[in-house]
Structure 1
Amino acid sequence: MKKYALATLISPFLFFLFTNCNKDKSNTEETPVKDTIVVKIDSVEKKPITTIDTVDYNQRMIALSNNDTTGRWPVKAPYPLPGALLPYNRIIAFYGNLYSKRMGVLGEYPKAEMIEKLQEEVAKWQAADSSVTTIPALHYIAVSAQAAPGKANRHNMRMPFKQIDTLLSWAKPINALVFLDIQVGHSTVKEEVSQLEDYLALPNVHLGIDPEFSMKNGEIPGKKIGTMSADDINDAIDILVRIVREKKLAPKILVVHRFTQGMLTNYKAIKTTPEVQIVMDMDGFGSQVLKRSTYLRYIYKEPVQFTGFKLFYKNDNWNDWKMYTPEQLLEFTPKPSYIQFQ
């Protein structure tokens, strides 16, 4: 089990487990042509917001800040476009990959069992906080970092579009969001997000980025913790802004994983726009004390816009640790708007 310095969380998963489970697939599947997209899903919002009530929005943002007195929260940012999901909702996401039972709960259980478990978590969070609507999400690792360079020398593997189509079909009956997560390896955010644009143009599809596997100096993913700068994050934001404007969509959500100082540099330069809502997600597993410390250091003290928190069914309950409950996390400042289970 890999551990890092004091107050630094353990990596969310060991990427080589995925590689070992898929030796016949690793770095062999290149991106199919984009016309393979076959699923079109309407927005999950039952009653879309047509205007932004700024008074209500401000009150909700203050409530999320949980009486913060430092001036950090709520973050000053442009009001979102109509139809924004945050701060009106809380997102409960299951994370993983369909090729592996070891990368997260999304791929660990059969579909029906996984969906039932997700809906149970949604109900728990709705009961814990009725001030917002709790909605489910499937957070899918669409680009996975790899130890081997592969034919394109990217040190990552792009999932076939048919898998993304499968996730979209699973999401539709339960009105769930879909997040496509990228681990760039030796590639770039711009290159990897661009090849997913047709999916990101769908109303309920959003984006996740994992700086842990961005290897700026040519290292092998998994050998050390990677890093991204505000420029990398802004590349993704620029693409999402363009898609939202061209397709006349509600704002997109961008989840950025973080559990060390070095994973994200120059955070103050990250753009905030009406078209994109940014969630800084406290990643990693460990004891409650360690996870709270990490949230305070890298999420609370370096505010971007909204916050998230990752929970691990197994690793947060290991070694006499206990996974945080909804009631406990709602005491955090700020309250997380996005909860991810692995």
Structure 2
Amino acid sequence: MIAKNQLLTSFCSLAISAILLSCNGVESKTKQAGSVSSKDSVATGANKTEDEGTIPAATANTYAPVDSIKYWEAVKNLANGDTTGLWPVIKQPVPAPGAILPFKRVVVYYGNLYSKKMGALGEYEPKEMWRRLNQEVKAWEKADPSTPVQAGVHYIAVVAQGDGGKDGKYRFRMPDKQIDSALNIAKMHNGIVFLDIQVALSTIQQELPLLEKYLKMPNVHLGIDPEFSMKTGHKPGTKIGTYDAEDINYCTKFLQKLVKENNLPAKIFVIHRFTKGMVTNYKNIKLVPEVQIVMHMDGWGEPELKKGTYRHWIREQPVQFTGFKLFYKNDLKKAPNRLMTPTELMKLSPKPIYIQYQ
């Protein structure tokens, strides 16, 4: 089992991954007494993009069918010599046409345009952000020349916050204008987009349908964060939240329906995780051809701690694909900590096919 200090450090990731809005101009202008304060709180004023043009609409499905032989070869390669029998995941369907994984590695910047403290996506102006992200893309292409990289942005579209708001749900839905800006930033370099949901005291069943018009777009995918799914009624940031397989299957079924009805390519569905309790009944998670599930290691700390978290809660509880997050600041908080390199991550078993930088 993972050491107690490792669990403690993973729990402390709340201090940096908990994104608690408590600013003017959101659902409430006053901060309730006792609400969680956060240095990652969102500041008013969004970064503007240079291009706020028309959002692309879904087109007819002209995507080539997936070559099943090449698919299984790539899936086996990701297992990276695993001898436990857990990887590769054999009981999974060949994906629907247009699937990105595992033929390309997805490398994204994460954040929100309202704040420079929530991740690299909002920290830099779009051109500078892409300059930096493209440097990471090159590093991954060098570490694994056999796997092309698909770059993108992972935008927090529903943000857990320290203020309960008018309905007491402790979450703030980003206005369409901000989501549109994220899409336009991605379009600057043919990137894909992930819309991330932190439900707080709301539910995924209430929040996900509100993003349907965006998820109908062929280049838009989904992320959910169990850390901020507060089923116990606690305020976000005071406890680590959770999702059950039932919640995950709801999202999968929702995306599957959109893919089928709108002639879309297969969707990628990212689930953040750094503790056992963040995902329950993982064996009941259902896989379908239209949706590719990534269990994403979301914890921060020194390399050995991150590898331990990945080993215990991602590798040992296999679903389909895996991801790994790197924190530019928080992974370096304690000397001699350092950012793990693509070459190091390529040695993991299984190899992560989704990489997120915050």
TM-score between the two structures when normalised by the length of structure 2: 0.87
2:142 to 113, 123, 127: 127
Shift of 1:52: 1.9
In structure 2, the CA distance between the partners of 1:249 and 1:136, relative to structure 1 (3 Å rule), is: same
Q: How does 1:239-258 map to 2 (within 5 A)?
A: 239-258=254-273
**2:66 corresponds to 1:52:** yes
Report the 3-state secondary structure (helix = DSSP H, G, I; strand = E; otherwise coil) of the residue aligned with 2:305: helix
Identical amino acids, percent of aligned pairs: 49
Matches within 5 A, 1:75-86: 75=89, 76-86=91-101
Determine the C-alpha separation between the residues in 2 that align with 1:330 and 1:280. 17
Task: Provide the residue aligned with 1:25 in structure 2.
Answer: 26
1:341 and 2:340 matched? no
Aligned positions of 1:1-342 closer than 5 A: 5-8=4-7, 9=10, 10-11=12-13, 13-14=15-16, 18-20=20-22, 22-27=23-28, 38-40=54-56, 50-75=64-89, 76-319=91-334, 320-342=336-358
Quote the Cα distance in structure 2 between the aligned partners of 1:41 and 1:13.
38
- Conserved? CA contact 1:201–1:247, under 8 Å: yes
| Residue in 2 that maps onto 1:32 | none
CA separation of 1:26 and 1:311: change in aligned 2, threshold 3 A: farther
- In 1, Cα distance between the equivalents of 2:355 and 2:28? 30
Identify if the C-alpha distance between structure 1 residues 122 and 42 changes in structure 2 by more than 3 Å, giving closer, same or farther. Answer: farther
What are the Cα deviations for residues 290-309 of structure 1, in whole angstroms up to 9, with x where unaligned? 00000000000000000000
Q: Determine if contact 2:244/2:281 at 8 Å carries over to the other structure.
A: yes
1:89-139 CA distances to partner (integer Å, 9 max, x unpaired)?
001110000111111011111221111101111111011111111011100
- Aligned AA (1:221): P
Give the Å deviation of 1:25: 2.1
Aligned pairs, number: 328
Residue 245 of structure 1 aligns to a residue whose secondary structure is helix
Which string of whole-angstrom CA distances, capped at 9 and with x for unpartnered residues, describes residues 219-278 of structure 1? 000001011100111111111000000001111000000000111100011110000000
Q: Is the 8 A contact 1:12 1:283 kept in 2?
A: no
8 Å contact from structure 2 (residues 21, 160) kept in 1? no
| Conserved 8 A contact 2:64-2:97 | yes
2-structure distance, mates of 1:179, 1:216: 24
SS in 2 for 1:91: strand
Gaps of 5+ in 2: 30-43, 45-52
Paired with 1:197 and 1:244, the residues of 2 have a C-alpha distance of 11
For residue 69 of structure 2, what is the amino acid of its counterpart? V
Please, which moves more after superposition, 213-222 or 312-321? 312-321
For residues 185-208 of structure 1, the C-alpha deviation after alignment (integer angstroms, 9 at most, x for no partner) is 111112111000000000000000
TM-superposed deviation, 1:5: 4.3
Secondary structure of 1:307's aligned partner = strand
Q: Judge which range, 309-318 or 206-215, deviates more.
A: 309-318
CA distance in 2, matches of 1:27, 1:334: 44
Distance 1:269 1:298, change over 3 A: same
Distance 1:60 1:294, change over 3 A: same
Shift of 1:49: 5.4
User: How many angstroms apart in 2 are the aligned matches of 1:180 and 1:13?
Assistant: 22
Question: Pairwise CA RMSD of aligned residues?
Answer: 2.0
Instruction: For residue 12 of structure 1, report the CA deviation from its aligned partner.
Output: 5.4
Structure 1 alignment gaps of length 5 or more = 30-36
